């Protein structure tokens, strides 16, 4: 039976985007993110991180370092009552990637590839799913993948029909009231 997912971008949504964050020392969690994830878990949502990681492609850090930080991040959520069910990442960049990382791919947002892969592998109900992102490329990926609700965290109103950070607190009751 298909389940809805809460899709989260990482940098700017889970952690403050300090630019190419790749160590626990540089990782600062966004206020309220632990509560959002725990509420989604309690409401029966899968929680899936979808993140561009061009820092790998630019050789600022390695895939091994990314995975180590991801494991550390998931442990912090578990300690606070939340679970990250899956993490999908794109290390590619069409212009600044080095070697095998320099390529165009639909797995890099704004392409929907990471979300569609999660849909297949995790049996996600995209129409009942939510994507919280902080960039127009997140919203474009969510729209292209058929995600039902897009929450746009930029602190400013926009004309794309997406919610703003001022409305993020509204996501918690919505998640709590969602059918399990």
Q: Where do we find the tokens 């300690």? A: 79
Q: Which of 11, 71, 106, 138 is catalytic?
A: 11
How many CA atoms within 13 Å lie on the side-chain side of 161? Answer: 6
Q: Which of 9, 125, 134, 138 is catalytic?
A: 9
Sorted by sequence, the CB contacts under 8 Å of residue 131 that are 6+ apart come out as: 6, 7, 8, 9, 50, 115, 138, 139, 141, 142, 147, 149, 150, 151
Catalytic annotation present for 106: no
Return contacts of 16-25, CB within 8 angstroms, 24+ apart. 17/134, 20/55, 20/58, 20/60, 20/61, 21/69, 22/55, 22/60, 22/61, 22/65, 22/66, 22/69, 23/65, 23/69, 24/69, 24/72
* Positions marked catalytic: 9, 11
């Amino acid at each position: 039976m298909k389940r809805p997912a809460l899709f989260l971008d990482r940098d700017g949504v889970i952690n403050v985007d300090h630019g190419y964050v790749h160590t626990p020392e540089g990782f600062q969690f966004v206020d309220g993110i632990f509560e959002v994830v725990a509420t989604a878990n309690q409401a029966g949502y899968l929680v899936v991180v979808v993140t561009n990681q061009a820092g790998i492609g630019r050789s600022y850090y390695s895939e091994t370092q990314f995975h180590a930080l991801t494991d550390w991040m998931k442990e912090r959520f578990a300690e606070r009552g939340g679970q990250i069910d899956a993490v999908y990442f794109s290390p590619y960049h069409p212009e600044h990637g080095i070697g095998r990382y320099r390529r165009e791919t639909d797995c890099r947002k704004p392409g929907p590839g990471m979300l569609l892969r999660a849909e297949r592998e995790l049996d996600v109900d995209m129409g009942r799913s939510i994507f919280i992102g902080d960039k127009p490329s997140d919203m474009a990926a969510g729209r292209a993948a058929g995600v039902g609700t897009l929450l746009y965290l930029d602190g400013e109103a926009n004309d794309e029909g997406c919610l703003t950070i001022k409305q993020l607190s509204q996501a918690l009751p919505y998640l709590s009231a969602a059918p399990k």
